[in-house]
């Protein structure tokens, strides 16, 4: 997946050994996902599929699951997320990182940890409450000044943020098949981190007009425009906004 994954685990009633075992299972899952979906490893199942060397029924079941999620994300974003339009053929990278982090969190939840956070390069899945009744508080970076926080968000399931301020122009407009960043960053919260990841990517390429498409879904979004204005859909759980944000 080409990113660093970090964990914050609150064991609760689990012993240290039980918590470590759960963390080891989550890490193994992430390595397995990378082996399956890496577009950098020539022999990975996804690359065999991209080259036409394997039919979908010959691949691991999770590949089909991700294809279905990519199709769903495409419909939810009015086509602005399109894993089939990328250079080199089908590429689920814009969704699979969040999907993998969500599955890793599932391993920790199934083990019985009281609370946990899995952060895959800024795509974050959370479980439980880290302290008392407070949800996880996640900061969104100011794209114009990465040493500053634009706002803090209360997250109860997942949040994904996409933008070009760290990796440069890497988000593709599926219509032109060229790099596009209509807004500086987009953050999406909702029940499934894979879908949130894909929607955030789509909004960076498609712009603030896509915010309206989320109003009938369980997802909410916040956009930071290139000039610094902040826009959000109703219900986006901003905890603290920076002074002067629009």
pLDDT of the residue at 171: 78
Is 73 domain-assigned?
A: yes
pTM: 0.91
Is 39 domain-assigned?
A: yes
CA dihedral 170, 174, 177, 181 (to 10 degrees): -40
Q: Is the pLDDT of residue 132 over 90?
A: no
Q: Is the pLDDT of residue 244 over 50?
A: no
Q: Is the pLDDT of residue 106 over 90?
A: yes
pLDDT of the residue at 15: 97
State the burial class of residue 59 (Cβ atoms within 10 Å of its Cβ: 0-12, 13-18, 19+): middle
Higher pLDDT, 164 or 242: 164
Please state the three-class secondary structure of the chain as a single string.
CCCCEEEEEECCCCCHHHHHHHHHHHHHHHHHHHHHHCCCCCCCHHHHHHCCCCCHHHCCHHHHHHHHHHHHHHHHCCCCCCCCCCCCCCCCHHHHHHHHHHHHHHHHHHHCCCEEEEEECCEEEEECCCECCECEEEEEEECCEEEEEEEEEEECCEEEEEECCCCCCCCEECCCCEECCCCCEEEEECCCHHHHHHHHHHHHHHCHHHHHHHCCCCCEEEEECCCCCEEECCCCCEEEECCCCC
pLDDT tens-place string over residues 6-18? 999 999 999 999 9
- pLDDT mean over 209-235: 95
pLDDT tens-place string over residues 53-84? 999 899 999 999 999 999 999 999 999 999 99
pLDDT of the residue at 86: 85
Is 55 domain-assigned?
A: yes
pLDDT of the residue at 211: 96
CATH number at residue 95: 3.10.520.10
State the sign of the Cα–Cα–Cα–Cα dihedral 213, 215, 219, 220.
Answer: positive
Q: Which domain holds residue 143?
A: 5-241
pLDDT tens-place string over residues 145-158? 989 999 999 999 99
Judge whether 160 and 94 are in contact, CB under 8 Å.
Answer: no
pLDDT tens-place string over residues 162-189? 987 665 566 777 766 666 778 999 999 9
Q: Is the pLDDT of residue 245 over 70?
A: no
User: In angstroms, rounded to a whole number, what is the distance separating the alpha carbons of residues 79 and 201?
Assistant: 12
Q: Which residues of 168-187 are buried (b: 16+ CB within 10 A; e: fewer)?
A: eeebbbbeeeeebbbbbbbb
Is 47 domain-assigned?
A: yes
pLDDT of the residue at 177: 61
Judge whether 140 and 177 are in contact, CB under 8 Å.
Answer: no
Count of structural domains, the chain: 1
Is 246 domain-assigned?
A: no
pLDDT of the residue at 242: 45
């Amino acid at each position: 997946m080409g990113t660093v994954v970090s964990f914050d685990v609150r064991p609760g009633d689990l012993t240290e050994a039980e918590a470590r075992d759960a963390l080891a299972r989550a890490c193994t899952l992430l390595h397995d996902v990378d082996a399956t979906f890496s577009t950098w490893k020539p022999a990975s199942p996804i690359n065999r599929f991209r080259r036409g060397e394997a039919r979908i029924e010959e691949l691991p079941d999770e590949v089909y699951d991700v294809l279905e999620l990519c199709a769903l994300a495409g419909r939810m974003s009015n086509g602005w997320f399109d894993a089939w339009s990328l250079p080199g053929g089908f590429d689920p990278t814009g969704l699979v990182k969040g999907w993998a982090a969500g599955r890793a969190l599932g391993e920790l939840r199934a083990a019985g940890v009281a609370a946990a956070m899995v952060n895959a390069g800024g795509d974050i899945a959370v479980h439980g409450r880290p302290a008392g009744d407070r949800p996880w508080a996640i900061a969104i970076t100011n794209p114009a000044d990465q040493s500053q926080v634009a706002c803090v968000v209360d997250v109860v399931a997942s949040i994904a943020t996409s933008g070009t301020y760290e990796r440069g122009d890497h988000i593709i407009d599926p219509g032109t098949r060229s790099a596009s960043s209509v807004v500086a960053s987009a953050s999406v919260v909702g029940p499934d981190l894979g879908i949130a990841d894909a929607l955030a990517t789509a909004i960076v390429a498609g712009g603030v007009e896509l915010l309206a498409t989320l109003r009938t879904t369980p997802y909410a979004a916040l956009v930071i425009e290139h000039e610094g204005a902040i826009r959000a859909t109703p219900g986006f759980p901003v905890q603290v906004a920076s002074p002067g944000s629009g």
